[in-house]
Amino acid sequence: AAWFAGMGPHTVAFANETVAVCDAGGGTTDLALIQYVPSPDGRALMPRVELGLGGLAFAGERLTDRLQELVLRQPGAQEDWEGFDEDERITARLAIEEAKRNLSEEDAVLIRLDPGRRAYSVRRKQFGGAIRSELSDLASAVQVMLQRARLGARDVHRLFLVGGSSLVPSVQ
C-alpha cells in the first residue's frame, strides 16, 4: 500500500522528491520513505525505497482496545461487559469499532455495548489522550526512520497517510 500510494496519477510531481508514507491499517502500521528518480531513458519515474519499517504495533485493533478501555472505566460498563456471553462481547466490540470510526468525524459518540442497555459517552479528546502512548511510539518510529536515512523532516516533500487509522484526527 505504501508503494501504491505514491504511484498515483500525479507521480510526475514527485520527481526527485522524497515521499513519506504511513500505512496505518487494521493490524499494523508500515512506514516508508520513497524517492522517485527518473528512469535511465528519462521517460518515467522509478520509485527507490530509501527505508521502510513494517509491522509496527499501532493501528486498528490496538486503537480499538484503547477505546474499549475508556468505555469500561465508566460506571456500570465493566459490570455489563462481565455479564456478556461471547456473542454479546462480539456485538459490543463491533459497537466500539464503529464508535472509533465515528470519532474521526464527530466530537463525541454514544456507545451502546448491547442494544437496550445504557449508552456510554466518549469524546474525541478523551480518545486522543487514551492513544497518546501509541502516538508517541509512532512519532519515535518516524524519527528513527528519518535518522537511519540521514534525513530531517524538511527533507520530506510529501506525506501520504493511508489506512483506516490514518483518519483518526490525533494521527493526522
The pLDDT tens digits for 20-45 are 888 887 677 888 888 777 778 877 77
Q: C-alpha distances in angstroms, 28 versus 8, 48, 93, 107? A: 23, 23, 19, 25
More confident position, 138 or 99: 99
Measure the CA–CA gap between 152 and 5, rounded to whole angstroms: 21
Q: Cell 508517541: give the residue.
A: 136
Could you tell me the three cell numbers for 158? 510529501
Note the pLDDT of residue 51.
64
Nearest to 19, CA basis, from 156, 149, 143, 171: 156
Mean pLDDT for the chain overall:
82
**Is-contact 33 145, C-beta < 8 A?**
yes
